[in-house]
Amino acid sequence: MKLYTLIVGIFLLFFSCTKKDQYRAGQEWNYKTRPTEKSSILKILKIEEYPETGKVIHISVSGLKIKDTSSTTGIADKFTHIPISEEALDKSVTTLKNETGKKPDSLEMDGYSYWKREFDKGDAGIFTIPVSEIISSMEKSIVAGDYTK
């Protein structure tokens, strides 16, 4: 009986640690996309922990088809920075596509720098809804012209 309890304990510890540490900067994930963006992927840029929000995972999303009249093509194909809760990301991702371990470039982190300044002032937060809903919401704001450049 003690051996059985020990094995179950180790098993539970292993899976709780695996889940807890499943996300790392540089990973690319498939996720539950919108119907027109099946090839879209998300990339993890940075992971931070804050007392107010818990774990914040900073992602970029590419392969999008966002209506954007300010773009020369009328379409935006990526969002370079989205701060999201771990729980919302858990509800979004499906399979790990690639684990490059490559650090994000400065362009990807520009959005992070702005967000961090505003977050520290208490004027920005994080998304707690699935990635596909974030994209739809952001697209509605862009189409309505309700955003700041």
Question: 7-29: per-residue pLDDT in tens?
Answer: 544 444 444 444 557 899 999 99
Task: Say what the pTM is.
Answer: 0.80
Lowest-pLDDT range of 60-64, 79-83, 96-100, 116-120: 96-100
Higher-scoring residue by pLDDT: 46, 73 = 46
Q: What pLDDT does 146 receive?
A: 57
Please tell me the distance from the alpha carbon of residue 68 to that of residue 87, in angstroms, as a whole number: 29
Query: String of b and e for 103-130 (b: at least 16 CB within 10 Å)?
Result: ebeeebbebbeebbeebeeeeeebbeeb
Q: What are 64's two structure tokens?
A: 């999008």
Average pLDDT, the chain: 84
Residues 113-119 have a mean pLDDT of: 94
**Percent of the chain topping pLDDT 90:** 61
Q: What pLDDT does 110 receive?
A: 79
